[in-house]
Amino acid sequence: MDLGISGKRALVCASSKGLGLGCAEALAAAGVNLVMNARGAQALEASAQAIRDEFGVDVVTVAADIATAEGQATVLAAAEGVDILVNNAGGPPPGMWSDWDREDFIAALDANMLAPIAMMKALLPGMMDRGWGRVVNITSVSVKSPIPVLGLSNSARAGLTGYVAGTSRQVAGQGVTINNLQPGLHATDRSVSLDSGAAAQQGITLEEAVAQRSATIPVGRYGTPGEFGATCAFLCSQHAGFIVGQNILLDGGATNSLM
Ligand code: NAP
């Protein structure tokens, strides 16, 4: 399917690896030029070069921490006038409800709620003036089905989801759509890190931890960044102009609910 977005420009935050990289690759495959961001310059440039080589699109890289005001300003300086914004950042650490203090919540809110809101506030006006834009926020299955050890993530992402619910309806009339993608378990560095922690806690191997968690997914396996990125690219396409303010679950059927 021709997504109809060849030649457009996208900012994909936190995209040197994992789900963000999956989104960047799928957009590049559709002919979209990219601004890619992550903190680590080396992995970022390596991923960007691989995309340039494979898809022939323009890719600008900005090594910066998207959770900070300075990082956001540096990224925005390179991303002025983009048509597509994919918001992403690393997820907060796991723990118990009693572990977290104000500073922990502020860090989680900065990365997973306030950074995407800041990027939207900066880039939505241009999209609205031009009469076309697409925003996709990478959130989590935890918004629909809270994950007890990820209380910081549950909290910050619920806040972003509330903001998007209202904002998406305020900008839709100017041709701009905002939607959230909710990943369940996907095979990335993040899932390896969480599974390693679970394995150590239970005294089992990483492979056993992955097998245990795969057994909770009706599809029987983790999702891939490629599948995730393809859904993101569709939401950014010309065909998705009537999809507004939705939270789309990509979890292999793991969340057992009617809607
Ligand atoms: P990942 O494999 O660890 O990749 C994270 C990417 O984001 C890397 O490119 C990393 O590069 C970059 N990054 C992290 N913090 C950043 C920051 N502050 N500023 C700029 N770039 C940053 O993670 P993932 O699995 O793709 O997860 C992406 C998001 O989805 C996370 O918020 C995660 O919690 C959420 N999620 C993932 C899953 C899953 O199963 N994978 C499930 C539910 C939710 P640098 O470290 O170099 O900055």
Q: Check if 156 has its Cβ closer than 6 Å to any atom of ligand 1.
A: no
Query: Are 233 and 212 within one domain?
Result: no
Q: Quick check: is 72 in a domain? A: yes
Q: Do 90 and 210 have their domain in common?
A: no
Q: What is the mean pLDDT of residues 223-246?
A: 98
What 3-state DSSP class applies to 181? strand
Rounded distance from Cα 225 to ligand 1 centre (Å) = 11
Q: Is the CB of 191 under 6 A from ligand 1?
A: yes
Ligand 1 centre to CA of 107 (Å) is 15
CB 130 within 8 A of CB 87: no
Per this entry, what is the length of the chain?
259
Among 11, 12, 17, 219, which residue has the most ligand 1 atoms within 8 Å of its CB, making it the best to mutate? Answer: 17
Structure tokens at 6: 């060849």
Tell me: do 146 and 100 sit in the same domain: yes
Taking residues 218-243, report their average pLDDT.
98
Residue the block writes with tokens 């900070």: 68
User: Chain-wide mean pLDDT for the chain?
Assistant: 97
**For residue 49, is pLDDT > 90?**
yes
Give yes or no: residues 215 and 230 share one domain.
no
Sign of the Cα pseudo-torsion (180, 141, 196, 98, in order): positive
Instruction: Tell me how far the alpha carbon of residue 135 lies from the centroid of ligand 1, in angstroms.
Output: 18
User: pLDDT category, 59, cuts 50, 70, 90?
Assistant: very high
Determine the Cα–Cα distance for residues 248 and 181; give it in Å rounded to an integer.
5
Is residue 26 domain-shared with residue 137, that is, in the same domain? yes
What is the reported pLDDT for 57? 98
Parent domain of 198: 187-222
Label residue 259 by pLDDT band (50, 70, 90). confident
Measured distance CA(232)–CA(4) in Å, rounded: 14
Q: How do residues 100-111 score in pLDDT, each as one tens digit?
A: 999 999 999 999
Per-residue pLDDT reduced to its tens digit, 187-229: 999 899 989 999 999 999 999 999 999 999 999 999 999 999 9
Ligand 1 in reach of 183 Cβ (< 6 A)? yes
Is 235 in the same domain as 110?
A: yes
Q: Is the CB of 90 under 6 A from ligand 1?
A: yes
CA distances from 209 to 87, 153, 200 (A): 29, 21, 9
40 lines ligand 1 (CB under 6 A): yes
Same domain, 171 and 191: no
Burial class (CB in 10 A: 0-12, 13-18, 19+), 145: middle
Q: Which of 11, 13, 19, when mutated, tests ligand 1's pocket best, judged by the most ligand atoms within 8 Å of its CB? A: 19
How much distance in Å is there from the Cα of 17 to the middle of ligand 1? 7
CB of 18 within 6 A of ligand 1: the answer is yes
pTM tops 0.95, yes or no: yes
Q: Is the CB of 154 under 6 A from ligand 1?
A: no
CATH code (residue 16): 3.40.50.720
Are residues 137 and 80 part of one domain?
yes
Instruction: State the total domains in the chain.
Output: 2
> In the prediction, which pLDDT does 170 show?
98
Backbone angles phi, psi at 103, to 5 degrees: -65, -35
- Counting from 1 in the atom list of ligand 1, the atom nearest the Cα of 193 is 3
Are both 145 and 217 inside the same structural domain? Answer: no
Q: For ligand 1, say whether the CB of 185 is within 6 Å of any of its atoms.
A: yes
Beta carbons of 120 and 134 less than 8 angstroms apart: no
Q: Are 105 and 155 in contact (CB under 8 A)?
A: yes
Please tell me the distance from the alpha carbon of residue 131 to that of residue 113, in angstroms, as a whole number: 26
Whether residue 156 sits in one domain with residue 118: yes
Alpha-carbon distance 153 to 112, whole Å? Answer: 7
The per-residue DSSP string of 84-95 comes to: EEEE--PPPPP-
pLDDT at 183 over 90: yes
Q: Are residues 217 and 241 in the same domain?
A: no
Mean pLDDT of 151-159: 98
| CB within 8 Å of 148: residues ≥ 6 apart | none
Which pLDDT value is given to residue 204? 96
